[in-house]
Amino acid sequence: MSEQQSAPPAWVRHPDESSPAHAAFLAYRDLGQARTFVAAARSLAKNERLIRRWAVRYRWRERVWAWEVAQSRQDEEVARRQRDGALQQLMDDSSRLWRAAMAYFWTLIDRDPETGKPVFGSKFTPAVALKFCELALRVQTGLAGRPDSVESDQPADPFQLTSAELRELIGVARELTEGKELTDEDVHQQ
């Protein structure tokens, strides 16, 4: 076999393996935790000695081990993709939340008529300031994975923020912006 070609997976039918022997291997492999030669023989209504003979000749234990390793790798890949997707969704939601909060924040700022500089107007009440602080604290503690503390020695773990908490935060941001769709101009007003 050339270096460019890879060997077929160990659990596929061997060239000299009969169809009944391969079917028995698959039945044995698929028994999972209950996998024994006796259980395979019973499930197939075959003689246990025949099952053992096929198992030795066609290296069933090695092949099952190779199949389980491959399954584990597939499961890990699926889990990694799910985590990556969840992280991307969290980042997207966090970005929308930040944009909504900044857009609303700029609606609370007035301009000094003489200097034109931004000043906090009458709309920026203590209750609104508290809402911003609570929102920032929940996002920060949620992303740090420590719901009881803003400071954390642990690396950030965005998966500690539950979907319900994230939806609640996004809902608060939408409530503050009255549900309007935000643009870059809204976020970066001066």
pLDDT (tens place) for every residue of the chain, 190 residues total? 444 567 788 888 989 999 999 999 999 999 999 999 999 999 999 999 999 999 999 999 999 999 999 999 999 999 999 988 887 877 777 777 777 766 777 777 777 788 877 776 666 666 666 676 667 666 655 554 544 433 444 444 433 445 565 556 556 655 555 544 545 454 444 4
- Number of folded domains in the chain? 2
If asked whether residues 182 and 89 sit together in one domain, one would say yes
DSSP string, 37-89: HHHHHHHHT--HHHHHHHHHHTTHHHHHHHHHHHHHHHHHHHHHHHHHHHHHH
52 and 98 belong to one structural domain: no
Query: Closest Cα to residue 62, out of 6, 8, 11?
Result: 11
Answer whether residue 67 is part of any domain.
no
Cα separation, 175 vs 168, whole angstroms: 10
Is residue 23, in this structure, part of any structural domain at all? yes
Please report, as a single letter, which amino acid is at residue 162: T
Phi-psi region of 125 (alpha: psi -120 to 50; beta: other; left: phi over 0): beta
Give percent helix, percent strand, percent coil of the chain, each to the nearest 5. 65, 5, 35
Q: Do 46 and 97 sit in the same domain of this protein?
A: no
DSSP H/E element including 120: strand 118-120
90 and 53 in a common domain = no
Is this prediction's pTM over 0.95? no
- Structural domain boundaries enclosing 17: 1-58
- CB within 8 A of 40, min separation 6: which ones? 24, 27, 28, 31, 46, 51
* CA 56/CA 149 separation, integer angstroms: 58
| Helix (H/G/I), strand (E/B), else coil: 111 | strand
